[in-house]
């Protein structure tokens, strides 16, 4: 397993951030976990180390939000997400991760700016079309496969619906629980798992339930209005981070 102290200096806060974000907001700042871990190891290795930890978080999240999800959304989202995984597996070796981050970051910032013009978190709820649901969930599955970055596309689809905060998080938790489980197939096929990565994942796994339950604790203490304001702010921060990281990667 990895023994470099610098790796754990960045991996421990990354895992906790991922857990709090996943358990309390469905996605958001958890997207920064892979880039943080990638400061110490190559990005594909970072993704491989984090996937087993994500699966433990998913199991904890499913227990916390059991029975709490939006049925009308979930089937459509899962169909698109699984299609996105298949596409992501095919293009994994060929997609430029910096370019992907630039595209995701620009999309997230443009979406937040558009919603701010409509009133931000106080804007009226929107019922998107099934076509938009398939598009955004497919993009979420693809970007989740390549860089565990499926949160922003899913947020673009779900946030404007202004679902109950627990229903929103529960729907997102179930979506990514299925997506992360299915991702095991292409990750094994691509040869991303080895004994060193799996042992390192095992060393970090105890942090996963703690992060999830801390996120659930925070979510239950936020009002609906404050929850959505934080969710939009997190999406804007994530978008800026993706855009910055992608631009640096392209420049380098």
In this predicted structure, what is the pLDDT of residue 56?
A: 94
What digits encode the pLDDT tens for the residues 77-117? 999 999 999 998 888 777 777 777 787 778 778 877 877 77
- pLDDT average, residue stretch 183-204: 89
Token match 């102290």: residue?
Answer: 5
How far is the C-alpha of 233 from the C-alpha of 244, rounded, in Å? 17
What digits encode the pLDDT tens for the residues 211-240? 999 989 988 898 878 887 887 787 788 778
| pLDDT over threshold 80, residue 205 | yes
Contact, 20 vs 211, CB < 8 A?
yes
How far is the C-alpha of 231 from the C-alpha of 29, rounded, in Å? 9
3-class secondary structure per residue, 103-165: HHHHHHHHHHHHHHHCCHHHCCCCCCCHHHHHHHHHHHHHHHHHHCCCHHHHHHHHHHHCCCH
Q: What is the band of 190 on the pLDDT scale with cuts at 50, 70, 90?
A: confident
What digits encode the pLDDT tens for the residues 109-159? 887 787 777 676 677 778 778 999 999 999 999 988 887 778 888 988 998
150 compared with 9, residue with greater pLDDT? 9
Nearest to 186 by CA among 120, 115, 89: 89
Q: What is the band of 182 on the pLDDT scale with cuts at 50, 70, 90?
A: very high
- pLDDT average, residue stretch 20-39: 76
| pLDDT over threshold 90, residue 9 | yes
Q: Enumerate the domain spans of the chain.
A: 5-251
**Residue 94 token pair:** 């060929």
How far is the C-alpha of 232 from the C-alpha of 108, rounded, in Å? 10
Following DSSP, what letter does each residue of the chain receive, concatenated? ----HHHHHHHHHHHHHHHHHHHHHSSGGGGGHHHHHTTTS-HHHHHHHHHHHHHHHHHHHHHHTTT-S-HHHHHHHHHHHHHHHHHHHHHTTTS-HHHHHHHHHHHHHHHHHHHHHTTGGGSPP----HHHHHHHHHHHHHHHHHHS--HHHHHHHHGGG---HHHHHHHHHHHHHHHHHHHHHHHHHTT---HHHHHHHHHHTTHHHHHHHHHHHHHHTS-HHHHHHHHHHHHHHHHHHHHHHHHHHHH-
């Amino acid at each position: 397993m990895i023994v470099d102290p610098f790796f754990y200096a960045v991996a421990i806060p990354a895992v906790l951030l991922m857990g709090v974000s996943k358990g309390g907001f469905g996605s958001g700042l958890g997207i920064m976990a892979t880039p943080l871990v990638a400061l110490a190891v190559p990005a594909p290795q970072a993704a491989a180390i984090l996937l087993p930890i994500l699966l433990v978080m998913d199991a904890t999240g499913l227990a916390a939000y059991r029975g709490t999800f939006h049925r009308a959304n979930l089937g459509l989202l899962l169909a698109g997400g699984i299609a996105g995984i298949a596409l992501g597996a095919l293009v994994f070796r060929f997609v430029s991760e910096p370019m992907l981050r630039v595209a995701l970051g620009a999309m997230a910032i443009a979406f937040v700016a558009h919603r701010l013009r409509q009133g931000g978190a106080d804007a009226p709820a929107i019922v998107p079309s099934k076509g938009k649901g398939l598009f955004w969930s497919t993009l979420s599955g693809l970007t989740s496969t390549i860089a565990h970055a499926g949160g922003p596309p899913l947020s673009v689809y779900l946030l404007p619906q202004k679902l109950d905060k627990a229903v929103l998080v529960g729907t997102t938790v179930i979506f990514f629980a299925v997506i992360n489980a299915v991702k095991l197939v292409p990750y094994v096929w691509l040869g991303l798992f080895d004994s060193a990565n799996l042992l390192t994942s095992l060393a970090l796994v105890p942090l996963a339930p703690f992060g999830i339950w801390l996120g659930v604790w925070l979510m239950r203490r936020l009002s609906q209005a404050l929850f959505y304001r934080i969710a939009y702010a997190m999406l804007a921060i994530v978008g800026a981070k993706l855009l910055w990281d992608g631009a640096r990667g392209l420049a380098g």
